[in-house]
């Protein structure tokens, strides 16, 4: 194992959720078991020390990927490797050890904190489990150190506070502190700033960047907000209905987006500058029902350049974009055997 | 857009009673909404922007109440109307759209029933058939397939439900829509589609739209004018270009600079110090002074009015724009 090896590898990971049906429907067609393909053959790597952004609209499966990486969910198919080890093969004791190396920050800090536990105890709690060698005094010192690192200063002032006594932004700092105390390698941040006010978002983003360097962290940053990925991420993966449609370096995705869905998403982001109002057209309709997604390329019914006979029948593969490293797209018209059908080929 | 004012808020005070005393969520607020404009009202949570929207409709529920002020709409001070008369204005002339349309739609009623009921409640002479025809006309206008009119709210997506809310307003010939965070629960492409729709409706029906949101990008995208709220007060108001490109109030400057912009590379986000004040005991003088990098002694003692800046259409409540000798000298570039 070298530093060059990725920290996390997803190999053809699938996660299907059965759809509950009524009793009568079950009697009528007993064989059928409808399922939402929340994650449908996803392969990706998170390199050591990078921030991988995972962006998509609601229902794209981005949060499910996050949970699979943490093994909060077991995959239906495929493998999740953490530091080269398939997490599914680990015994509970070994899994617990690995778990201290990966932590999670969710969107709603109030839901992540026990209202009856002081924030000092909340942050000390993981240390109690994962660092039994520390005595109570050492643990408290450890908490103080982490509190200072996340900007809860002075730590003694905050240590005995309850979650309701501090602001939303400070609560999210507590959640981050709790994640950091076991000195993890990986933080999965699932919409960590989505509930915060604009001015607080800026502070949290800045904090996350600083902590990354200070604690040598690797982030999986899950978000619906493409503007913030630009501020934080090294690479970006775009998901649509359980599949990755495009992945690459931030620069490639923003300056050379290939997938029509990526282009639509980027164009739709409102820009805080009235001189840059959007003029281009938008894709038709909304994300289809994931229980019964469109055939072929999931995006084809909304795609402005979809070609009948190809896009609606064959599933596109995630293939490297010509001559460009570290940029892959899953579109028949951009990569693979059908590129000659691309109506935008001349200006590509 | 014309210069004609459709809704004029004069010195509105709204207070919430709490155990620790009255909280003035909207404080002596004056604002004009012009006919046919999209006015963006932005601010962070707790600034009073939603309370202002509800206050304009007189739908503030206990423990909140309007303490004073005037609400002039189409030549009438709504504060002088009886509750029954006000109910008529609400459905009929002013419509409200909220973040979660499911809370405003009856899950047991088909879309067509919502629309025909609203039409016939306000126009009792209209036949069932005519009301249905009008309903079909409206949903078509909003990009909903007419055959879907017989479906129930849960069968629609979030974006479509927001369109139904707008259809309800249009079906009654409403002239003003107060939209409180209408796109906050929507995905970005659906949000953009909805904003396109708002623009189109404004053109076609000469609608006036008050767009209350925390999303600075949305305001930049569709608003004609912008009002920025802080701690129960309007701190800045002006045309969208002027407010975004020549921001006058120190708070708005900080706020606008802390928004990530997808068009900018290597952006340095502004980090605003402190937090909005507790409105049980707001700071004396200008409410922003404890966080303001330009504050001087005057700012902690006197409360500035919404003063005209070098551009008379662009006003900011900051002493910098007064002609007093003891004003903050540090002119904002």
Q: pTM to 2 decimals?
A: 0.91
> Quick one: pLDDT at residue A5?
85
Chain A residues within an 8 Å CB radius of B269: 202, 205-206, 231
> Quick one: pLDDT at residue B266?
85
CB B153 within 8 A of CB B111: yes
Res. B332: pLDDT tops 70:
no
> Quick one: pLDDT at residue B178?
95
Nearest chain A residue to B257, by CA:
A199
Res. A14: pLDDT tops 60:
yes
pLDDT digits (tens, 9 = 90+) for A302-328: 999 999 999 999 999 999 997 767 899
For residues A186-209, give the mean pLDDT.
93
Which residues of B make CB contacts under 8 Å with A? 44-45, 157, 159-160, 187-193, 195-196, 214-218, 220-221, 223, 240-241, 244-245, 254-256, 258-263, 265, 267, 269-272, 275
* Other CB atoms within 10 Å distance of the CB of residue B297: 11
Chain B residues within an 8 Å CB radius of A62: none
Q: What angle do CA A239, A241, A242 make, to 5 degrees?
A: 70
> Quick one: pLDDT at residue A53?
97
For residues B174-196, give the mean pLDDT.
92
The model's confidence at residue B180, banded by pLDDT at 50, 70 and 90, is very high
> Quick one: pLDDT at residue A348?
44
Cβ–Cβ gap A273/B260 under 8 Å: no
Q: What is the DSSP letter of A321?
A: P
> Quick one: pLDDT at residue A38?
94
For residues B301-306, give the mean pLDDT.
93
Residue carrying the six token digits 């969208």: B240
Reading the block at residue A68, the tokens are 């699979």
> Quick one: pLDDT at residue B330?
63
pLDDT digits (tens, 9 = 90+) for A159-178: 999 999 999 999 999 999 99
For residues B24-39, give the mean pLDDT.
96
pLDDT digits (tens, 9 = 90+) for A252-294: 999 999 999 999 999 999 999 999 998 888 888 888 888 889 9
Cβ–Cβ gap A274/B45 under 8 Å: no
Res. A26: pLDDT tops 80:
no
How does the average pLDDT of chain A come out, rounded? 92
Res. A229: pLDDT tops 90:
yes
Helix ranges (DSSP H) in chain B: 49-57, 83-92, 111-122, 128-141, 158-171, 188-205, 216-222, 240-245, 250-257, 297-301
> Quick one: pLDDT at residue A305?
93
Closest approach of B216 to chain A, Cα-based (Å): 6
| Spatial separation of the C-alpha atoms in residues B249 and B256, rounded to whole Å | 11
Cβ–Cβ gap A286/B241 under 8 Å: no
> Quick one: pLDDT at residue A30?
75
């Amino acid at each position: 194992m070298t530093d060059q090896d990725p920290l996390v590898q997803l190999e053809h990971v699938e996660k299907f959720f059965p759809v509950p049906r009524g009793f009568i429907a079950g009697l009528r067609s007993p064989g059928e078991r409808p399922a939402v393909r929340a994650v449908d053959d996803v392969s990706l790597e998170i390199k050591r020390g990078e921030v991988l952004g995972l962006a998509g609209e609601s229902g794209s499966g981005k949060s499910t990927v996050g949970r699979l990486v943490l093994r909060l969910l077991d995959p239906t198919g495929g493998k999740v490797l953490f530091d080269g080890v398939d997490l599914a093969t680990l015994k509970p004791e070994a899994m617990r050890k690995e778990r201290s190396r990966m932590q999670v920050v969710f969107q709603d800090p109030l839901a992540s904190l026990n209202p009856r536990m002081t924030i000092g105890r909340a942050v000390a709690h993981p240390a109690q489990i994962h660092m039994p060698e520390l005595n109570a005094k050492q643990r408290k010192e450890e908490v103080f150190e982490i509190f200072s690192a996340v900007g809860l200063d002075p730590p003694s002032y905050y240590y005995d506070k309850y979650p309701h006594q501090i602001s939303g932004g400070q609560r999210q700092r507590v959640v981050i502190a709790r994640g950091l105390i076991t000195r993890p390698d990986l933080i999965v941040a699932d919409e960590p700033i989505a509930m915060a006010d604009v001015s607080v978002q800026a502070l949290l983003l800045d904090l996350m960047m600083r902590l990354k360097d200070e604690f040598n962290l690797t982030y999986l940053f899950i978000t619906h907000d493409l503007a913030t990925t630009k501020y934080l991420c090294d690479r970006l993966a775009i998901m649509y209905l359980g599949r990755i449609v495009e992945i690459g370096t931030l620069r490639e995705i923003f300056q050379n987006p290939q997938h029509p869905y990526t282009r639509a998403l980027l164009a739709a982001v409102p820009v805080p500058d009235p001189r840059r109002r959007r003029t281009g057209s938008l894709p038709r309709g909304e994300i289809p029902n994931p229980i019964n997604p469109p055939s072929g390329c999931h995006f084809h019914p909304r795609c402005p350049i979809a070609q009948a006979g190809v896009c609606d029948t064959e599933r596109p593969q995630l293939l490297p974009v010509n001559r460009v490293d570290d940029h892959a797209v899953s579109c028949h018209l951009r990569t693979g055997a059908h590129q000659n059908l691309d109506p935008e080929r001349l200006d590509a | 857009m014309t210069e004609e004012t459709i809704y004029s808020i004069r010195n509105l005070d709204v207070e919430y009673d709490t155990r620790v005393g009255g909280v003035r969520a909207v404080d002596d607020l004056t604002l004009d909404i012009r006919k046919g404009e999209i006015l963006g009202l932005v601010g962070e949570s707790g600034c009073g922007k939603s309370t202002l929207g509800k206050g304009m409709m007189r739908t503030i529920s206990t423990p909140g109440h309007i303490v004073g002020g005037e609400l002039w709409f189409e030549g009438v001070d709504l504060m002088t109307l009886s509750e029954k008369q006000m109910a008529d204005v609400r459905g009929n002339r002013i419509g409200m759209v909220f973040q979660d349309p499911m809370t405003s739609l009856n899950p047991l009623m088909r879309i067509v029933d919502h629309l025909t009921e609203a039409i016939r409640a306000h126009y009792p002479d209209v036949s069932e058939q005519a009301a249905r025809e009008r309903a079909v006309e409206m949903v078509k206008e909003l990009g909903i397939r007419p055959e879907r009119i017989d479906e129930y709210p849960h069968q629609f997506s979030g974006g479509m439900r927001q369109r139904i809310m707008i259809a309800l307003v249009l079906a009654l010939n409403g002239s003003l829509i107060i939209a409180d965070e209408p796109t906050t629960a929507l995905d970005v492409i659906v949000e953009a589609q909805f904003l396109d729709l708002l623009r189109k409706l404004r053109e076609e029906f000469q609608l006036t739209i008050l767009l209350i949101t925390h999303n600075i990008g949305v305001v930049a995208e569709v608003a004609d004018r912008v009002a920025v709220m802080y701690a129960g007060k309007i701190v800045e108001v002006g045309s969208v270009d002027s407010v975004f490109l020549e921001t006058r109030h120190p708070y708005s400057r900080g706020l606008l600079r802390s928004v990530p912009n997808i068009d900018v590379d290597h952006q340095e986000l502004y980090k605003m110090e402190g937090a909005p004040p507790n409105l049980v005991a707001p700071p004396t003088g200008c409410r922003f002074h404890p966080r303001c990098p330009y504050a001087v002694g005057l700012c902690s003692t006197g409360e500035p009015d919404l003063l005209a800046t070098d551009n008379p259409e662009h006003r900011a409540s900051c002493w910098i724009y007064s002609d007093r000798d003891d004003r903050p000298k540090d002119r904002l570039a």
